[in-house]
A and B are shown apart, each in its own frame.
Chain A
């Protein structure tokens, strides 16, 4: 079974997208999860629901609205045009924005749970040991939440690799630009190229299996660290 250059291209693009999404999401999700885990604000419930929304919405719905937003008539589209960036729909950047929104709950929730499991005590201890809040966050909260951060990383990466609906809606299926493994498989099946579809599909099954084993390992460690 040989892997075609188009397939390699799709795999490369998928990994690129998943890596970029994971990095961007960890930077966004960590402070967001911290705020959700600490606040008594009345905004907590609505913001928490918004973060979770991508989990229950059909990817096509999400993709549709993101497409409108990024498109020539959309708010983001107007801004990117005014900035001379052109339109982000049907581009890698657009795909990245869609993926970040789509995977948001997969990053926020494990980190939020980890912060909640730590409780307030370690931060109070850090404060009595003269650590200012930002110092305590980096030297105490983040290291203690490491299992949650690792879980978020693995889940986000895997979820991005596996997404289809949002990618198809926002990215189209442009080879080398927005065609990822899942849409490539779809293309193969459409064209009745079952053999090529098989190669990629089997790869995805294997990948998902490894991800689940990794998560199980992480969970075991989390249990040990956080009673």
Chain B
């Protein structure tokens, strides 16, 4: 991924009981997830980028200036090369699936032309829905059509506003693989708004954390999730994300072996092919620490590392310990009492016992 800063935005917007005030530089490729609790201004930020809201500020995408309040520049939404996927699919009810897909396509003079639409149809797997009316579609299908419709215009930037929020858990599971595929194959940068940690860990390359209309953190996904300050804010479900590769499987144990930079983990085998790169997520509460390698335990995933820092947690009785294992930093949520009983200090060598690993992709 290129580190070119393609998207530069600086917005301030006053609302009766809300203020958005952000200044961000975002990468030219990959998915940037805008993450934060409800009401933190994620959707408003996305609407500002699309030109659906009119904040004061500056917005520049690569060499194009979309907004500069000081210079009186404001390109209206319909002249911005964005694809926007709304929270509810918002398909045009008076048009068929195919007509919905062609609505945007027929209004752009893009060199890609039909190619962009055909690629999108293939990418989202909606070929079989084209002749249907929008009424009969399931929630997941509607969102896939909406994403394809947005991509068909050949946008320079894709904006997704909690595309899974209106779906139930089963339908979310249906559509997540399509989004993961989108993530792997998408050639344009995307901003993805969500308050779901699961979607964040699965789809983000870069993350911007918003709190009450202000940026709390912005950075690479692995680095941000292993930041103890962020983990403290996230709370119970805090944990790190790292990438690895499936290198082996045991058919007798129904487990797969994943190798990442400093170690190997056995995880539940859900049939992914050997050699596939996967994301794994390890929650801080599932990591315990031991001074020696304890093989008299049901916890078989054990990795050695060095304590990098000991950080405050939400509850005074607990702390978050950052353990460096090669390039990867693990977070362990342990009690202060255990910490002092074992006499753990920074730079000490330690064993991390990992009770549970989630395989994401």
Q: Which positions in A face B, CB cutoff 8 Å?
A: 121-122, 124-133, 135-136, 139-140, 143-144, 146, 225
9 smallest CB-CB distances across A and B, nearest first, come from A129-B104, A128-B84, A127-B77, A130-B107, A143-B94, A127-B78, A125-B90, A132-B78, A130-B78
Tell whether A129 pairs with B153 under 8 Å between CB atoms, given A124-B77, A144-B94.
yes
B93 A130 Cβ-Cβ under 8 A: no
A131 B78 Cβ-Cβ under 8 A: yes
Q: Is B103 at the interface (CB under 8 A from chain A)? A: yes
Q: What are 21 A-B contacts defined by CB distance under 8 Å?
A: A121-B86, A124-B52, A124-B77, A124-B84, A127-B77, A127-B78, A128-B77, A128-B83, A129-B104, A129-B149, A129-B150, A130-B78, A130-B104, A131-B104, A132-B78, A133-B78, A135-B107, A136-B78, A144-B92, A144-B93, A146-B94
- Other A-B contacts than A130-B107, A131-B78, 10 sampled, CB-CB below 8 A, are A121-B86, A121-B90, A124-B86, A125-B90, A128-B52, A128-B82, A129-B107, A129-B149, A130-B78, A130-B104
A122 B92 Cβ-Cβ under 8 A: yes
Which among B51, B93, B107, B150 is the interface contact of A131 at CB below 8 angstroms? B107
The count of A-to-B residue pairs whose CB atoms sit within 8 angstroms is 59
| Alpha-carbon distance between A216 and B51 when the two chains are bound, in angstroms | 41
A129 B103 Cβ-Cβ under 8 A: yes
Interface residues of B in 270-316 (CB under 8 A from A): none
| Alpha-carbon distance between A146 and B153 when the two chains are bound, in angstroms | 27
The distance from the CB of B98 to the nearest CB of chain A, in whole angstroms, is 14
CB contacts (< 8 Å) of A225 on chain B: these are 93-94
Interface residues of B in 39-79 (CB under 8 A from A): 50-52, 76-79
CB contacts (< 8 Å) of B76 on chain A: these are 127
CB contacts (< 8 Å) of B82 on chain A: these are 128
| Alpha-carbon distance between A127 and B83 when the two chains are bound, in angstroms | 10
Q: Mark B85-97, 1 if CB is under 8 A from A, else 0.
A: 0101010111000
Q: Is B108 at the interface (CB under 8 A from chain A)? A: yes
The distance from the CB of B76 to the nearest CB of chain A, in whole angstroms, is 7
| Alpha-carbon distance between A152 and B103 when the two chains are bound, in angstroms | 28
Q: Which residue of A lies closest to B47 (CB)?
A: A124
Q: Which positions in B face A, CB cutoff 8 Å?
A: 50-52, 76-79, 82-84, 86, 88, 90, 92-94, 103-104, 107-108, 149-150, 153
Q: B78, B86, B90: which has the most chain A beta carbons within 10 Å? A: B78
CB contacts (< 8 Å) of A121 on chain B: these are 86, 88, 90
| Alpha-carbon distance between A143 and B88 when the two chains are bound, in angstroms | 20
CB contacts (< 8 Å) of B79 on chain A: these are 130
CB contacts (< 8 Å) of A128 on chain B: these are 50, 52, 77-78, 82-84, 104, 150
The distance from the CB of B74 to the nearest CB of chain A, in whole angstroms, is 13
Q: Which residue of B lies closest to A139 (CB)?
A: B103
CB contacts (< 8 Å) of B108 on chain A: these are 130
Q: Which residue of B lies closest to A135 (CB)?
A: B107
| Alpha-carbon distance between A122 and B100 when the two chains are bound, in angstroms | 12
| Alpha-carbon distance between A109 and B77 when the two chains are bound, in angstroms | 30
Q: Which residue of A lies closest to B103 (CB)?
A: A129
| Alpha-carbon distance between A124 and B52 when the two chains are bound, in angstroms | 7
B86 A130 Cβ-Cβ under 8 A: no
| Alpha-carbon distance between A122 and B93 when the two chains are bound, in angstroms | 10
| Alpha-carbon distance between A134 and B33 when the two chains are bound, in angstroms | 34
Which among B52, B94, B153 is the interface contact of A130 at CB below 8 angstroms? B153
| Alpha-carbon distance between A160 and B84 when the two chains are bound, in angstroms | 45
The distance from the CB of B141 to the nearest CB of chain A, in whole angstroms, is 17
CB contacts (< 8 Å) of A135 on chain B: these are 107
| Alpha-carbon distance between A124 and B82 when the two chains are bound, in angstroms | 12
The distance from the CB of A59 to the nearest CB of chain B, in whole angstroms, is 37
Q: Which residue of B lies closest to A127 (CB)?
A: B77
The distance from the CB of A210 to the nearest CB of chain B, in whole angstroms, is 27
Tell whether A122 pairs with B90 under 8 Å between CB atoms, given A128-B84, A129-B107.
yes
CB contacts (< 8 Å) of B86 on chain A: these are 121, 124-125
The distance from the CB of A31 to the nearest CB of chain B, in whole angstroms, is 20
| Alpha-carbon distance between A121 and B92 when the two chains are bound, in angstroms | 10
The distance from the CB of A67 to the nearest CB of chain B, in whole angstroms, is 44
A140 B92 Cβ-Cβ under 8 A: yes
The distance from the CB of A144 to the nearest CB of chain B, in whole angstroms, is 6
